[in-house]
Amino acid sequence: MQLIKRLRRRLLKRPTEPARQPAQMPHHARHLVLTASDKGGRGMLAESIDLMQAYALRIGADFKCIQHENHSESPLIRPHAVKFYSGLELAHYDRVLWIDADCLVSPQCPDIFSHVPSHYRFAAWCDEPELFDPYWELKRPRYRHGYFNSGVVLSADPQPFQVGLDILNHSEQRLTQHEQVMAMGEQTPFNKAVHELGLDVFPLDIAWNFMPSPQTCSDLGITTTLEAAYIVHCAGGSHLQLSDSRCRVSRAAGMRDLRRRLGW
């Protein structure tokens, strides 16, 4: 009995082991591919949305399409500026890829989320003014990062969208007269927001937002071809062989024809 009592006392004096902490699960980045359309742009979206959905599925990202007129936020003075609401999605995702509805994503397009280094919080193709308007009298505004085309944009930061929308909604106070003339819809307010925030922009290659015509490529020595582009942006209609690229119905038909030619 004495032996049992001594053993019991020794056991009671032993320090208790700290409770084991549950193993930390590795963080899996959540990515979103996002686009939008208003009623006038539904024809173009019909030609591009399946390519975007397939791309998101292939790279393990979610996909979402915003219907502009059904959005819960206040009306926008320019419908295509609905892209500024992309920032709201960053409450739920690590990074968001915005793609305009008039963009065709190649079935061979690489994973852009893997391509852009994680320490960059913003990425876009920044060479548009020099590329298309080298001798244009009315130069587009120049900012710290240059001037990006907002048709394909990757961001991990909601601030450019918030500030861009504020600049757009108060353009008379926030933009110079030159910037207002060259606003390009929401594009200049978006650029100015990134400039004001001092963000480092990862410069995407032209293949991620391919816009020039074959003649422009030849004139400027661009080696990327339409067939090799990752994302073809049909905003200017230069790929579509159209007489009126501003007509969105005509542009949708041109996008359909281009998909057939590319085999996408």
Helix axes 159-169, 187-197, angle to 10 degrees: 130
**Domain presence at residue 1:** no
**Domain presence at residue 197:** yes
Phi-psi region of 105 (alpha: psi -120 to 50; beta: other; left: phi over 0): beta
CATH of the domain at 241: 3.90.550.10
Collapse the DSSP code of 218 into the 3-class scheme (helix H, G, I; strand E, B; otherwise coil) and give the result. helix
What are the pLDDT digits (tens) for 112-137?
999 999 999 999 999 876 666 555 54
The letter for the amino acid at 105 is: V
Structure tokens at 18: 């700290």
Distance CA 121, CA 156 (A): 5
**Domain presence at residue 131:** yes
Q: Which pLDDT score, from 0 to 100, does residue 10 have?
A: 56
What are the pLDDT digits (tens) for 140-171?
788 989 899 999 999 999 999 999 999 999 99
Could you count the other beta carbons within 10 Å of the beta carbon of residue 224? 15
Q: What is the DSSP string of 59-105?
A: HT-EEEEEEGGG-SSPPPSSGGGGGGGHHHHTTT-SEEEEE-TTEEE
Indicate the number of domains in the chain: 1
Q: By the 8 A CB rule, do 141 and 174 touch?
A: no
Collapse the DSSP code of 65 into the 3-class scheme (helix H, G, I; strand E, B; otherwise coil) and give the result. strand
**Domain presence at residue 13:** no
**Domain presence at residue 25:** no
Q: By the 8 A CB rule, do 121 and 155 touch?
A: yes
**Domain presence at residue 122:** yes
pTM: 0.83
- What is the domain extent for residue 168? 31-262
**Domain presence at residue 14:** no
**Domain presence at residue 165:** yes
The upper half-sphere exposure of residue 33, i.e. CA atoms within 13 Å in the direction of its Cβ, equals 24
